[in-house]
Amino acid sequence: MFQVGDKVLYPMYGAGIIDSIEEKEVLGVKGQYYLLNIPHVNMEIMIPVGKAEDLGIRQVVNSEVVDDVLRFFFEGDTDPVMFESNNRFYRDINKKKMKSGDIYQESEIIRDLTRKSNLHKLGMEDNNMLHTALQLVTSEIVQVKGVEMEKAVEMLQSVINQAKDEKEKQEALG
């Protein structure tokens, strides 16, 4: 059970803070609800305490995990089949990764779609997926590192730009 003030991640919505735990009556049934404040989208969500685990709600990762994600952001290979312009199979895989709430899997989405965008313009669905993954990862960085959203975006963008620069250097060298 989470406590008031806990920083948690709600898959597909992002990281936020448990503002309160309240007794509410919904559809004639009384129950305990977390009131989760997700600041990056200016949203408050009521979550039944007993369903939090089923919904994938978890504590945010620690600072070392965020550092690890940023340090190894572009390591690992991307399946070349993903670069095909209309690959529903990979979109379905990315949706599962997104719903997992796992920061490493969300980072893989960013890595793979960024690589794909370097080859050709992303379609609307891929572009939306990339945008959502970026929001989820940056929202967790905000909660873990205690920085403003702009700083978290800057941290992530710096890693993305660094990877692009390294790729360009490798291509120039042959």
User: What domains appear along the chain, each with residue ranges and CATH number?
Assistant: 7-59 (2.40.10.170), 63-173 (1.20.58.1290)
pLDDT of residue 57: 97
Q: What residues in the chain have per-residue pLDDT under 70?
A: 84-86, 164-174
29 bridge partner residues: 26
pLDDT score, position 87: 76
Encode 128-150: b = buried (16+ Cβ within 10 Å), e = exposed. ebbebbbbbbbbbbbbbeeeeee
CA proximity to 50, closest of 77, 23, 72: 23
pLDDT value of residue 153: 95
CA 31 to CA 115: how far, in whole Å? Answer: 46
In this predicted structure, what is the pLDDT of residue 86? Answer: 64
Cα 51 to Cα 48: distance, rounded to the nearest angstrom: 5
pLDDT at position 97 is 94
- pLDDT reported for residue 174: 58
Phi, psi of 74 (to 5 degrees): -105, 15
In the prediction, which pLDDT does 137 show? Answer: 97
Longest dimension (CA), the chain: 69
